Structure 1
Amino acid sequence: MLLSSRRVRAAVLAAAAACVLAAAPPPPTSAGIGDTLFPGLGNPGYDVLSYDIGFTYQGDNSKPMEAVTTIDARVTDWLERINLDFARGTVHSVEVNGEKAGFAIADEDLVITPPRRVYPGQALRITVRHTSDPRGGEDGGWVRTSDGLVMANQADAAHRVFPCNDHPSDKAMFTFRVEAPKEYTVVANGVEAGWTRAGATAVSTYRTEHPMATELAQVSIGRSAVVRRDGPHGLPVRDVVPAADRQRLERWLRKTPAEITWMEKQVGPYPFETYGVLIAAADTGFELETQTLSLFERSLFVRAGYPEWYVDSVMVHELAHHWFGDSVSPRAWSDLWLNEGHATWYEALYAQEYGKRPMATRMREAYSQSDGWRAAGGPPAAPKPPAPGQKISIFRPVVYDGSALVLYALRQEIGTARFGELERRWVSEHRDGTATTADFVRLASEVAGRDLGPFLRGWLYGAKTPPMPGHPDWHPAAPVAGGAVPARHI
């Protein structure tokens, strides 16, 4: 049977349209790398090498800032679309390797469609022009202070400030360029790489010299004083404090070099290019180990009622994180105990040495509560997911004293000398990288000269707390109905 030319043409067009529809890519969707606690975080298919992030701050916290984020990455898989974590901002435009790219928002992902498919091994430069909203919120990102802004991005809030691959397994180098009114002081992670003034504004540039996880990014904008001094071996130490509190806070600031020296005696050389404390006039409810510039609430240092040994030990906790958590970062968020357990361990050790607060007393109390903490939050290396709408609820007592208790049991089992060797080798062999719980168990076994897997399995993954070596008289208390109260996040 023959068809008319018009009908043939219509049939051909219909068939072509059907082929186009069949070949059309699926709608943009969010992606994640499958983290057990934050499955939506991170993005597959590329490895970020560096971020170059620019903010334009006009002295007004009530409206979004203009920003530009440039990401250099290496492609690891064939990709028709590239996902970045990003929320709480408006995207103006996207370029991929200098060419305009399509984009869409899907949940908390910026989904980019490059002009052509990218392939493994390809160099990738993504430039996103966007806004960054300083109004912040309870779920982290920018934190408004009495005179400006600071960042608090843990655990998953960096992408509420700038587009990124927001997972600690993908560490990268950072450059920050911040334009602000000249009366504001800007300080960020790393070291200052430039300062230029143009009329009523100034541009400050900072660069890191070591890779950093996105959750550790920090930019401080405020009417601040920067206090400089030398640390051990000539390490530059710079503290950032509200200008009006410069003299009032000196009694705390001058402690830092000695605290760094103390930590170096425990685990070896400080792993970064500079250190300092950032004291912010803001109520956050926590302190935070942002890399090279630890964030502290002003109230910790000026409120009556905190004993000196306690404030000192909190300062050491954040400092210790620069070895455990910053330099050696968790491969997955379920490895968080390696960060917080170690920081709590050195906090307690410092309090014992300088505050006459016996470690054994603290660990015995932790042991008595450990079963309750495990019931409420899961065992140290297999924590329960965060409560709905409460991302930082993963920072429970079990990852603080409950995880320091694991280290105490390990020291009891292998002895003080081998434990010290393990700690020094851990931060040396994994410096500037990421590591897992399995890596820690493997190295502990190597140092001990025997397989510690069976011993550590119960301590890390058990629903019940194992017997404490050397302390047969220690007994866990019955779990309290309703579970444990979340710990202060430090």
Structure 2
Amino acid sequence: MLFTPWTKAPRAKASQTFRIGTALLAPATCAGLIAASAPLPVSPSPGSPRAEGAPALGIGDRLFPHLGNPGYDVASYDISFTYRGDNKKPLDAVTRIDARATDRLGRFNLDFSHGTVRSVEVNGVPARFARAEEDLVVTPSRPLAQGSRMRVTVRHTSNPVPPDKEDGGWVRTKDGLAMANQADAAHRVFPCNDHPSDKALFTFRITAPSGVTAVANGLPVARARVGSTTTWAYRTRHPMATELAQVSIGKSTVLYRTGPRGLVVRDVVPTKDRRILEPWLKKTPDQIAWMERKIGRYPFEAYGVLVAEAQTGFELETQTLSLFERELFTARVHPGWAIESIMVHELAHQWFGDSVSPRTWSDLWLNEGHATWYEALYAAEKEGPSLEDRMREAYRSSDSWRADGGPPAAPKAPDPGQKISIFRPIVYDGSALVLYALRQEIGRTAFEQLERAWVATYRDETATTADFVSLASRISGRDLRKFFRVWLYGTKTPPMPGHADWRTEAPGRPAE
């Protein structure tokens, strides 16, 4: 996720505006059990039934302790949405979850907080359900044995109008909808195990009026028109974290072109803007080739740019189809090299964050630090500031960023009511600075070998900061635990290897 300065209505309070070289970025701060036949609103509301003795659960993530659920491992989601042409009205939806019970389950929780649940079935048999905070508590007709397969079918609505000022979930565009589920908002759209540690395959089926286009992650597998509606189906070939799910519905045109080795490059743009956006879209194949020269083969079945006419305050690396605001390309605020480098930032996330996903949200620096690193490298090869200049500026601000947002691998919790406020400067340039220090410490050759090994070793999996430290130590032939301890967990920025003259500014004092 990259926050950009031209946004007129940011979704979260900006913690700080900072300048790196000549690129200005503004980081913003996802009664008892009732009968299954009774619709249950699971949006927080005083009158909603709650599950007695069945609390909201979580897997204990340090930043989002109630996110995710223990007891099962999801293999796949099959999600159907029916959109009737009004982006202010709830969509009818059915979510089917295929999973394996990792414990004996007398009941289990799903993350879901914004919609009405009409029924729940477990393995084809009606189940009881109730709400506990942002969880849907499900009690099957008989307990599930450890190791058994479970298919959960939830019939529900999915409401694109937020009930409060919380961020994420559906984004209402000028002509339809898109998704922005990072960091913890997928469960505002569909029931799920909403944590990146539980990746799964996805199938999306979207029924919409035939005058609009529906697109989702992965590749198209079917399309059928019945009367005045069309149903579109898409499927991923690689597992995906819930926060990376994407569905776009609107008056769009889908453009296809070919990337390296025949890769499908699919862009989704407002039909009226097709011609003015084409000069930017045609750059994507070369950007993919540039990234492949740096770190290896693109990890998914397709890639493309989804351009939405909406005010979000960021661009977002949804898997295989990155979300961009229209104004990034049309407002003419940034120079061309800066726009391209932002495109590369989201592209780099396909490797760092999407293919290799964080095991916990405290590992976020691995996503954003790497995406910022390749963004900066690309800018330096175009007409932007040199990498050294950008890192020197980041070094000057690093102590202030650590004071504001915590160390890179131990970020502060999000601000109340602003869950995406974990995306502070320290996880962007502050974390890219750690990678620069590492390259200074172990040398360019070992660093580049590490980067390639990282995305190859953990492709389609999750990984932790400890995994990165271990791999870096093995490839460099050195024990780097002390180096990473001070750079990733220290409250003060350590001296920069090879640049003894670099200085930090005191926290609270703006860099000149």
Q: TM-score, normalised by structure 1?
A: 0.93
- Name the counterpart of 1:480: 508
Structure ranking higher in helix proportion? 1
- CA deviation string 1:445-478 (max 9, x = no partner): 0010010101111000000000000000001111
Q: Residue in 2 aligned with 1:265?
A: 293
Structure having the higher Rg = 1
Q: In the alignment, does 2:86 pair up with 1:60?
A: yes
Q: Which residue of 2 aligns with 1:329?
A: 357
Q: Measure how far apart 1:354 and its partner are.
A: 1.3
Note the 1:39-438 alignment, pairs <5 A: 39-136=65-162, 138-438=166-466
Look up the SS of the partner of 1:54 in the other structure.
strand
- In the alignment, which residue of structure 2 is the partner of 1:19? none
Task: Give the superposition deviation at 1:304.
Answer: 2.0
Q: Partners of 2:495 and 2:145 in 1: how far apart?
A: 53
CA distance in 2, matches of 1:47, 1:304: 46
Whether the 8 Å contact between 2:166 and 2:417 is mirrored in structure 1 is: no
AA of the residue aligned to 2:415: A
Q: For residue 96 of structure 1, what is the amino acid of its counterpart? A: V
Give 1:128 deviation, angstroms: 0.1
SS of the aligned residue for 1:248 comes to helix
Matching residue within 58, 62, 72 for 1:32: 58
Q: Deviations along 1:278-317, whole A, 9 cap, x unmatched?
A: 0000010000000000000000000022110110000000
Distance in 2 between residues matched to 1:356 and 1:348, nearest whole Å: 8
Distance 2:151 2:288 in 1: 38
1:416-464 deviation digits (Å, cap 9, x = unpaired): 1110000000000000000000000000000100101011110000000
Q: Which amino acid in 2 is paired with 1:249?
A: L
CA deviation after TM superposition for structure 1 residue 238, in Å = 0.6
- Give deviations 1:253-294, integer Å, cap 9, x for gaps: 000000000000000000000000000000100000000000
State the alpha-carbon separation in 1 of the partners of residues 484 and 57 from structure 2.
Answer: 34
Identity in percent: 69
- Which AA in structure 1 matches 2:343? M
One-letter code aligned to 1:375: A
The equivalent of 1:452 in structure 2 is: 480
Stretches of structure 2 that go unaligned for 5 or more consecutive residues are 1-50
Q: What is the aligned-residue RMSD (CA, Å)?
A: 1.1
Greater relative contact order structure (CA < 8 Å, 6+ sep):
2
Aligned amino acid, residue 142 of structure 1: W
Q: Shift in Å at residue 138 of structure 1?
A: 4.3
State the 1:355 CA deviation.
2.0
Structure 1 CA distance, aligned partners of 2:143 and 2:413?
A: 35
Matched residue SS, 1:50: strand
Secondary structure of the residue that 2:84 maps to in structure 1? coil
Superposed displacement of residue 358, structure 1: 0.2
> TM-score with structure 2 length normalisation?
0.89
Cα deviation 1:168-195 (Å, max 9, x = unaligned): 0000000000000001101100000000
State the distance in 2 between where 1:312 and 1:131 align.
Answer: 38
| Partner of residue 10, structure 1 | none
Aligned residue for 1:151, secondary structure, equals strand
Encode CA deviations 1:81-117: one digit per residue, 9 max, x unaligned: 1100001100000000000000001100000000111
Q: Distance in 1 between matches of 2:247 and 2:237?
A: 16
Code of the residue aligned with 1:35 in structure 2: it is: D
| Letter matched to residue 223 of structure 2 | W
Letter in 1 for 2:338: Y
SS in structure 1 of the partner of residue 485 of structure 2: helix
Q: In 1, distance between residues paired with 2:65 and 2:407?
A: 19
Runs of 4+ in 1 over 6 A off after TM superposition: none
Deviation at 1:26, TM superposition (A): 5.4
Shift of 1:78: 1.4
Q: Note if contact 2:338-2:384 (Cα within 8 Å) is conserved in structure 1.
A: no
The Cα shift of 1:62 comes to: 1.9
